[in-house]
Chain A
Amino acid sequence: MSGRTVLVTGVSRDLGRSCARSLASDPSVDRVIGVDVMPPRGDIGDVQFVRADIRNPVIAKVIAREDVDTVVHMSVIATPGSAGARGTMKELNVIGTMQLLAACQKAESLRQLVVKSTTTVYGASNRDPAMFTEDLEPRRPARTGYSKDVAEVEAYVRGFARRRPDVTVTTLRCANVIGPRVVSPVTSYFRLPVIPTVLGFDPRLQFLHEHDLNRVLRHAVGAGIHGTFNIAGDGVLMLSQALRRLQRPGVPLPGIAFGGLGSALRSARTADLSPELVQFLTYGRGVDTSRMRAELGFEPRYSTAEAFDEFASTLPPTGGRTERLLAAVAERLPEVNDDRPPALTLAGGSDG
C-alpha cells in the first residue's frame, strides 16, 4: 500500500511529535499530517502541521480534504498540564475522541485507526491479578480522572470498530512511557529529589521506553493488525528497587498522607500525583505482553529495567551514600566470583 497519508493527533506534545516524525521517516508513508490545537513545541521535520481542534467538526473536513487513510490518535492526555483544568482535559480526551471518531466514520478513504491507550485502563487494586491480559476488565470500574477518560475513549473506539468493520482498529495499551525527555506524571514523580512512597507497599512497575513507543506505533501502522494489545518492556521493577537504582532517598508516608501530599505537589506544580497514580503507586500493576509478541509481532528493544536505567542515568543521584561507602570497602577486598567458591587467601594478606 504505497502513498499512505497518515493523520496524527496530539502533535503539540513531545510524544506525539516524535511519533509523527518517526512515521514521516517511514518509506511506506507518503505524507504525515499533524493535528493539534496548539502548534508543536519543537521541530516537526517533514510533518505537515494543521492547526485544528479535534473537538469540533473541522477535523472531518481535514480528513476528507487530505484523503487520509490512517489515523493515529495520540491525543489522550494523562494530565491537564498546559491545557488548563481537569474539565478541559476531559473535554480533550472524551469529546475530542468522539468528534474524531465521528469524522472517521464519515471518511470513506479511511482504512486504519491506531489508538494509543494506556495500561491505566486496568486500574490498580489489591484484587488485581498479577498480570492483566487484554480481555480482563479492571476489578474496580474507574471513577476518577484519567483512567475513566481512557475507559470511555476505549468504549467509543470499540463502538467505532463495530460500525466500521472495514477499518482496521489497533488499540495499543502502553505501559508508562519513560525516557530522558519524557514529561509525564510518572517521570516527574521520579524526578523529585526525595521520593515519597506509600508506607508498607511496594508496587510492581512496568515501563516502556519512548523509542519503543515510536517503534510500536510505526509497527502498528505498517502491520495493520486488528485488536487490542498490551505494550510494555519485559520484566517488572519494584518501586523500592527503582528508587535504589535512581539512588534517591524514598520517604514512606502513610496512605492518607500520601494522597494529601499529592494535592500539595500538584498545587506546587512539581509533580502530579493524581488519585489513579496514587493507586498505581500503592498496588502496582503488571500487564501480560504475550499477545504483543504473538499477534502484533512486536518486540520491544528495551526491557523495563533497561528503560528505567536509561532514564535514571540522566538524573543526578541525591542519595546513595551508604552504597558509596560500601563500594569503597569492597574495593579493598578480593574480587567476588559467584561461580566458584572463594579462593583460599593468606590470613596475613599478601597485599598488606
Chain B
Amino acid sequence: MGDAEIIPIGTRGRPGRGTGTRPSAAARNLAPKSRSGAAKQTEPTGPTEDAPATAEQPRADQPGRPPAAEKPAAESVIPMLGDDIIPLATAETTPTLTQRLAVTEREAPGGIPVGDLLSAFQVAAREVFGEQWESQLAHFLAFLRRRLTGDYVVDEFGFDPEITEKFFLAAIRPIAQKWFRIEVRGAENIPAEGGALIVSNHSGTVPVDALMTMASVHDHTDRYLRALGADLVFRLPFVGAVARKGGATLACAEDAERMLAGGELVGVWPEGFKGIGKPYSQRYKLQRFGRGGFVSAALRTQVPIIPLSVVGAEEIYPLVGNVPALARLLGVPYIPITPLFPWLGPLGMLPLPSKWLLEFGEPIRTDEYDEGAAEDPMLVFNVTDQVRETIQQTLYTLLMQRQSVFK
C-alpha cells in the first residue's frame, strides 16, 4: 500500500468547514449514524484479522469508487498491530454501540492505551523512515545489533569501514560541503584501484585538512583514504582510538609499506607539525618534507605519488601566537593562539569559513626506477623535491585563481 492516499478519518477527502446552519461534513461523519453507514460498506471485508489485507482487494479492483473505497485505506493507517490489539481495531469498524462501550470500558481503567501508543509509534516510524519503514527499521536494528554484539570486522590497522562510512564521513561531509565549500579538481588523477600515495601540504593549526581530504576523496572516488598520523595522535585518548577506527595508522615506514603493498590509498602530510603549526605570516610556504620517508615507501612498493595542494585550510585558524613553555609542559608541539582562541573560549574553536580548493596533481610514477632506488638517498631527495615543488607551484596557481579567502 505504498501508493495509498492517506486521508484524515471522516472528512471524505474534503476539508471540513461548517456553514453555520449545518454541521460540517467532518462533523456529520463523526456522528454515530452516518458512521454506521460508512462502516456497513466495509462490512463485507469483515472485522477479522485479515481485514487490512482483504480490504486492499476491492480498492485495487475498482479504482473509480473513491469515497467508499478510501475508507478502509484510511483506517489501515492505524492497524498493523500485534494480535493483542486486534479487538481495538475491530471495535472501530464495528457499528454496534455495545461493543463500542465495551472498548471504552476496557480502556479507561487501564490507564495506558497500548494500542494508541503502538499506532503512534507506527506513525512516527513512517514519518522517520518513509513508507517502507518496517524493512528500513529492520535494517537499522540489524546494524545496531551488529554493533552491540561486536559482530563486525576491523582490519589489522583497526579500520572500521562501517563506522567510518556511517558516522565519521557522514559528520565531516556537511562541513566539507557547506562550511568550507570544498572544490575538488583533478580527482581523476586518483587511481580507481591499487596502491597510491597522496602527498599533501599541511596547514590549519588543527589537522582539519586531513579530515576534509578523507571525505573529499571518498566522495569522488569511493575509496577510503588511509591517513598516516604522527605518534602524538595515538598517544592522545579518544583521538587515537577514533583515528584508528577511521583508517589511520602511525606514520612509519613499516605501516606505510604494508598499506601500500595491500593496495590501499594512503595519505601522508610530510610537513607534519611544522606545517600545521606554522604562523599565519608563513601561510602557503611549504616546510621541509620530513626526511623523504614517504618517497622511499612509494619507491619500495612501486606505487604512484599523487601530489595534493590544499588551499583554504591556512585561514581556518590563523595562528598568530604560541605558548612554547606551556606546550613543552604538556608535551605537545605548540599551543595555538589565534585571533579568536582562547579569547572567545569554545566559540574561538569554530573554524573560519574559508573557501577551499583541493587539486590533485598528475601522478608521479615510481615503478620505472630499479630495485635499489629506495636505498639511494640522492634519488629519494630528488623525488621529494619534485613532489614538494609541484605542490608549491600548484598552491601559487590556486591562490591566484582564488577570488578571496571566503569566496
Contacts and interface: CB of A to CB of B under 8 A. Distances in A.
Interface of A: 126-131, 133, 136, 198-202, 204, 235-238, 240-245, 247, 255, 283-284, 286, 288, 305, 320, 322-323, 326-327, 329-330, 332-336, 342-352
Contact of B156 (A127, A200, A235, A351): A235
Interface string B223-258: 000000001101111111100110001101011001
Contact of B148 (A200, A326, A333): A326
Contacts of A344: 2, 132
B144 A326 contact: yes
B192 interface: no
A53 B401 CA distance: 80
Contacts of A240: 150
26 contacts: A127-B234, A129-B254, A130-B158, A130-B249, A130-B254, A130-B255, A235-B153, A235-B156, A238-B154, A238-B160, A238-B245, A240-B150, A244-B147, A286-B157, A329-B141, A333-B134, A333-B137, A342-B135, A343-B135, A344-B132, A345-B134, A345-B135, A347-B2, A349-B52, A350-B53, A352-B80
B134 A131 contact: no
A338 to B, nearest CB: 8
B44 interface: no
Given A127-B234, A129-B255, 9 more contacts: A126-B240, A131-B254, A199-B237, A200-B238, A202-B241, A238-B154, A326-B145, A333-B134, A348-B80
A83 to B, nearest CB: 35
Given A245-B150, A345-B135, A130 B80 contact: no
Q: Is the interface of A mostly helix, strand, loop or mixed?
A: loop
Contacts of B244: 202, 204
A105 to B, nearest CB: 35
A127 B240 CA distance: 11
B83 to A, nearest CB: 8
Contacts of B234: 126-127, 283
Interface in B84-98: 85-86
B4 A330 contact: no
Contact of B139 (A126, A199, A200, A336): A336
B82 interface: yes
A130 B250 contact: yes
A346 B237 contact: no
Contacts of B131: 347
What are the 5 A-B residue pairs with the smallest beta carbon separation, nearest first?
A: A200-B237, A342-B135, A349-B80, A244-B150, A348-B52
A162 B237 CA distance: 43
A53 to B, nearest CB: 41
A240 to B, nearest CB: 8
Interface of B: 1-2, 4, 49-50, 52-53, 55-56, 76-77, 79-83, 85-86, 126, 131-132, 134-139, 141-142, 144-145, 147-158, 160, 231-232, 234-241, 244-245, 249-250, 252, 254-255, 258
A320 B144 CA distance: 13
A326 B241 CA distance: 27
A128 B255 CA distance: 9
A243 B148 CA distance: 10
B150 A255 contact: no
Nearest to A246: B150
Contacts of B138: 330, 333-336, 342
B1 A244 contact: no
A238 B139 CA distance: 24
Contacts of A349: 52, 79-80, 134
Nearest to A343: B135
Contact of A242 (B85, B147, B150, B152): B150
A127 B136 contact: no
B164 to A, nearest CB: 13
A322 B148 contact: yes
Nearest to B239: A200
Contacts of A235: 153, 156
Contact of B241 (A200, A255, A322): A200
Nearest to B72: A348
B82 A332 contact: yes
Contact of B132 (A127, A329, A342): A342
A334 B134 contact: yes
Nearest to A347: B1
B132 to A, nearest CB: 6
A243 B250 CA distance: 25
B134 A323 contact: no
A131 B156 contact: yes
A130 B145 contact: no
Contacts of B155: 236
Nearest to A351: B80
Contact of A241 (B77, B139, B152): B152
A236 B158 contact: yes
Given A130-B156, A241-B152, A348 B135 contact: no
B241 A346 contact: no
Contacts of B135: 333-334, 336, 342-343, 345
A204 B241 CA distance: 10
Contacts of A346: 1, 52-53, 56
Contacts of A326: 141, 144-145, 148
